[in-house]
Structure 1
């Protein structure tokens, strides 16, 4: 069954908007144009990121993982992702040669919130970068250089519902959701106030 045969299919923005409440002001304004110190700390703590691309064969989502800090943020506008050994399908890399838009989802074990980053990627074999990202004595064959265009934090509801990190402690040094939002929104919200509200918000809106 598809949209042509499903009488309950949603086929317009107006119909979709009618189903859901308006997003809060915080949700609308939390998008930032570049990295900042708390965001870079979150990325440095992440051992796992999902890379979304789109190409002639459609969309792909591929996992990227290594020791925390394997994704480098040399400045507030750039991310460097080493391409570790895989199956050589190269779905994401082939996509990027056609359409350089990418989406990244960073996860940190024990942390409910996730970081979503959007940008434009190029593939590089820069010798200095390859040497800087050696792991287990091996250089990556190539790396992605991502120019960040926007980012924002995703709340913890999905991780809480899934019990993904059940029993895993949150890293003590990891910036809180409130601290990240305060940085992204240039002080328009107070991190301590956001953090104080979150437990009640999650309890009331998880389902």
Structure 2
């Protein structure tokens, strides 16, 4: 059988003969301008991509709109809220400080991409500025912005992402407890999770540990 694996830039480019759209180039800048700042301020959710010694990681980050703040046009500040303490993203940043961010805004078709480098700060004054429900973030991710640009709405439109009528009934999908039980009952090195008890306690546990 013929091998259709792409192995060269020439092979790749040949599949996309149309020239790059002018807007695709013009939209990318090296700082956060007023329009891009408005999108960041409106976003309650972004995905953080990092690289580390164990490979790539993609982590969801969410809070009330405006939780990612601009220190200036070249700097973003992100509080690290409570999570599972795996610290995948943070450990990766210590190893390789390059990051990518993809912001989403409910009801808005375009997404926003930000690339840059990151450092971690536990400065008490900086952390205090992100206090929520009386709790401080353990640290703040400080992002040095290198490129910013919006992504067109095609992916969101194809996914019908913001259509409330298209939302799945969560009961039709495996729950967190079911997933944990299925994995652990096949692993003789760990105790099998009580999936039903885990699911029952999860909503209150999430509520109590948001911050």
TM (normalized to structure 1)?
0.76
Pairing partner for 1:113 from 110, 113, 116: 110
For residue 38 of structure 1, give the secondary structure of its aligned residue in structure 2: helix
Q: Please say which structure displays the higher CA radius of gyration.
A: 2
- What whole-Å deviation, never above 9, does each CA across 1:94-150 have from its counterpart, x for those lacking one? 111011000000111000000000011000001111111011211000110000011
Counterpart in the other structure of 1:9? 5
Counterpart in the other structure of 1:30? 27
By how many angstroms is 1:56 displaced? 0.9
For residue 74 of structure 1, give the secondary structure of its aligned residue in structure 2: strand
Residues 1:89 and 2:86 aligned together? yes
State the alpha-carbon separation in 2 of the partners of residues 123 and 44 from structure 1: 21
Q: Which runs of 5+ in 1 are unaligned?
A: 169-207
For residue 112 of structure 2, give the secondary structure of its aligned residue in structure 1: strand
For residue 130 of structure 1, give the secondary structure of its aligned residue in structure 2: helix
Q: For 1:31-70, list aligned pairs within 5 A.
A: 31-70=28-67
State the alpha-carbon separation in 2 of the partners of residues 127 and 74 from structure 1: 16
By how many angstroms is 1:49 displaced? 0.7
Change (3 A) 1:160 1:89: same
By how many angstroms is 1:6 displaced? 7.5
Counterpart in the other structure of 1:157? 154
For residue 33 of structure 1, give the secondary structure of its aligned residue in structure 2: coil
For residue 85 of structure 1, give the secondary structure of its aligned residue in structure 2: coil
By how many angstroms is 1:29 displaced? 2.6
Superposition misfits of 4+ residues, deviation over 6 angstroms:
none
For residue 137 of structure 1, give the secondary structure of its aligned residue in structure 2: coil
By how many angstroms is 1:41 displaced? 1.1
For residue 49 of structure 1, give the secondary structure of its aligned residue in structure 2: strand
How many residues are paired up?
A: 164
State the alpha-carbon separation in 1 of the partners of residues 91 and 152 from structure 2: 31
For residue 161 of structure 1, give the secondary structure of its aligned residue in structure 2: helix
Counterpart in the other structure of 1:124? 121
- What whole-Å deviation, never above 9, does each CA across 1:21-43 have from its counterpart, x for those lacking one? 22112212321010011111110
Specify which structure has the bigger relative contact order, considering alpha-carbon pairs within 8 angstroms and separated by 6 or more residues: 1
- What whole-Å deviation, never above 9, does each CA across 1:37-68 have from its counterpart, x for those lacking one? 11111101100010000111111000100000
By how many angstroms is 1:167 displaced? 5.0
